[in-house]
Amino acid sequence: MQEMAATKKRLIQALAVNPLDKEFLTTDDILLLPSLGKLKSRKDAKLRPFIYSAPMDTVTGYRLAEVLTRSKNHQGCEQGAVVCRFLPQEQFKALAQLHKRNNLFHAVSGRKEDVAILQNVSYDNKLSVAIDVAHGDTESMHELYNLWREQVFVQDIMSGSVCSPAGVIRAAQAGCTHIRLGVGPGAACTTRLQTGCGNPQLSAVYLAHKALVIKGLRDKVTLIADGGIRYPGDAVKYLAAGADAIMLGSRFSTCIESHGWKRHKKRWWHKPQLVKRFRGQASASFQLDVFGKKSRCPEGATGPLIEPTCSVKDLVGEFEDGIRSALSYLGLTSINELNPDNVTFIRITPSASKEGGPHGT
Fill in the amino acid letter for 328.
Answer: S
Contact residues for 293 (Cβ-Cβ < 8 A; gap 6+): 287
The rounded distance, in Å, linking the Cα atoms of 213 and 250 is: 31
Question: How many angstroms separate the CA atoms of 266 and 264, rounded?
Answer: 6
Catalytic residue list contains 170: no
Catalytic-labelled residue, pool 77, 84, 189, 255:
189
Reply yes or no on whether 189 is catalytic: yes
DSSP conformational letter for 361: -
What whole-number distance in Å separates Cα of residue 209 and Cα of residue 165? Answer: 8
CB 323 within 8 A of CB 337: no
What CA–CA distance (Å, rounded) separates 162 from 181?
Answer: 5
User: For residues 25, 56, 64 and 230, what is the CA-based torsion angle, rounded to 10 degrees?
Assistant: -20
For every residue of 172-221, DSSP letters joined together read: HHTT-SEEEE-SS-STTB-HHHHH-----HHHHHHHHHHHHHHTT-GGG-
- Whole-number Å distance between alpha carbons of 88 and 3: 69
Helix (H, G, I), strand (E, B) or coil at 337: helix
Active site amino acids: 189, 296
